[in-house]
Amino acid sequence: MAGSARRAARLTLALACAAAALATAQPSVTTPDFNGVALGASEAQWRAAFPSFACAASADRVLSDRACTFDARRQGPAAGAGLTLAGVSVDEATATFVGDRLVQIAVHYTPADAERLTDALAARFGAPRVRTTSVINRRGTTIPNVVARWSLAGGTVENRHFGATLDRATLTMSVPDYLSVVQRRQLESVKSAPPP
């Protein structure tokens, strides 16, 4: 009996050490943020942090109530001089609000920086779930598109080597319930529409 008690004690100690090592190896960040402004923040908090973003009522009321946008090409270098995320220059960004709650951030940047941003996000959020999809260019050539995804308690982060076009990489951060919010708003929109 003494031998099995020692084995159990060694096993318990080994499991405790493994759990401690795992806990220290996992990053503690659970809510995604854009340069310090976390998902769930108010529009006022966003505007205070990023005065170069233009905020207005959303064109698509199903997706959001308000949106704050930044476009380095339209606003010029002085408007958002040095707007970066983890050292990567941001070309365009949109912060989406439902009510007064930041529910999604979409960032577009140069695909050449996709791996560097993925590495920075992995250092912050831990190892992502990675999958490879395909993108076909105008000549019909299939190009691999690496998609890294983190599912965190406070939201989802997804980094795509190629976004909607081959000249832009896309990072999105969304609160966990954003899809259900959009689905509910879409259903309400259909119910309130006048009959044909």
pLDDT of the residue at 7? 45
Residue 138 — very low, low, confident or very high, per pLDDT cuts 50/70/90?
Answer: confident
Instruction: Tell me the pLDDT tens digit for each residue of 155-187.
Output: 999 999 998 889 899 999 999 888 888 888 888
Reported as a pLDDT band with limits 50, 70 and 90, residue 74 is confident
Q: Which one, of 118, 91, 108, lies nearest residue 162 by Cα?
A: 108
> Does 189 or 121 have the greater pLDDT score?
121
Lowest model confidence (mean pLDDT) among 82-86, 88-92, 124-128: 82-86
In whole angstroms, give the CA distance from residue 140 to residue 122.
32
